[in-house]
A = this chain, B = another copy of it.
Amino acid sequence: MDCVAAVDVGGTTMKGGLVARHGTLLRVERRPTPRAEGPQRVVAAISGFVADLAEPGAGTRPLAVGVAVPGLVTPTHAVFAAAFGWRDVPAAAFADVDLPVTLGHDVRSAGEAELARGAGDGDVLFLPVGTGIAGAMTLSGSLYGGANGWAGQIGHIPVRPDGLACGCGQRGCLAAYASGGAMAARLGVPGAADVVRLASEGDAEAVRVWAEAVEALAVALATYTLVADPAAIVVGGGVSQAGDALIVPLRERLAHRLGFRQAPRVRASALGPLAGLIGAGLLAWRSLAG
């Protein structure tokens, strides 16, 4: 079967797979992201993952490659990624194979996949909260990229001006409070799931970090609502797997932050953590169509 090879590079885990036309996943594989080993090692790990996936297999024939990465990205370059320390990494570095390669922004790729599955009609913000945070804005039914294709950097809006330092070089960013990476680092635990668990057990420091994260998300979503007037906000990513522990207080704090207008609907993602992988595959398919 014709398919494309796709990799979605997350902060702790890379998801790779084969994606049939229209986004059906034929194979999914996870590998750790060797983030601690430096920028070059992450690029090499992606390249190795792509090479393995791009091998013709039993009944599958990959025609193109799509790679979803965080940060500022064009179809041909990873321009800047605070999470990995990348600057101007060309697409070829991520995929040493004889197939067309397209780079996509991980979050917009995920938004694209949610949109293709009908979860993101109309005016919707798709906000995956994972190791990092960024948003994919669907306006009037289409993904909106902005003047330079860099719209939706909601993880780095200043929710607490002059607040906590962020890896991006700014201060008080949403991601410095609410990303899984930042929450885990503040508590000295491996991941956001540990923060949620400790908070549910009543650990005072975890309760405080989690409450600050929810409040930072509420400030950011109130800001987004006032700016863009979305019909709905879809929260995805690893942190959203906290479920009601996140969504219920977030809805309450968002309504509290909005003084003169109703809050949009806030709900969890339909495709979950595989949205970015499916979206990277859809990007690769689109590169073949063009």
Contact = CB atoms under 8 A, between A and B. Distances in A.
Interface stretch (A33-41, A54-62, A158-166): A158-166
Contacts of A137: 227-228
Contacts of A223: 157-158, 223, 227
A257 interface: yes
A265 to B, nearest CB: 10
Given A139-B144, A144-B139, A161-B219, A156 B264 contact: no
A224 B222 contact: no
A123 B148 CA distance: 10
> Do most interface residues of chain A lie in helix, strand or loop, or is the interface mixed?
loop
A232 to B, nearest CB: 8
Interface string A132-151: 00010101100011111111
A152 B152 CA distance: 15
Interface in A204-235: 215, 219, 222-224, 226-231
A82 B229 contact: no
A219 B162 CA distance: 10
Interface in A239-264: 257-261, 264
B147 A264 contact: yes
Interface size, A (range): 35 or more
Contacts of A123: 146-147
A257 B163 CA distance: 12
Contacts of A154: 226-227
Interface string A104-130: 000000000000000000110000000
Given A219-B158, A222-B157, A227 B227 contact: yes
Q: Which 9 A-B pairs have the closest CB atoms?
A: A146-B229, A169-B259, A170-B259, A147-B231, A151-B229, A153-B226, A123-B147, A157-B223, A150-B229
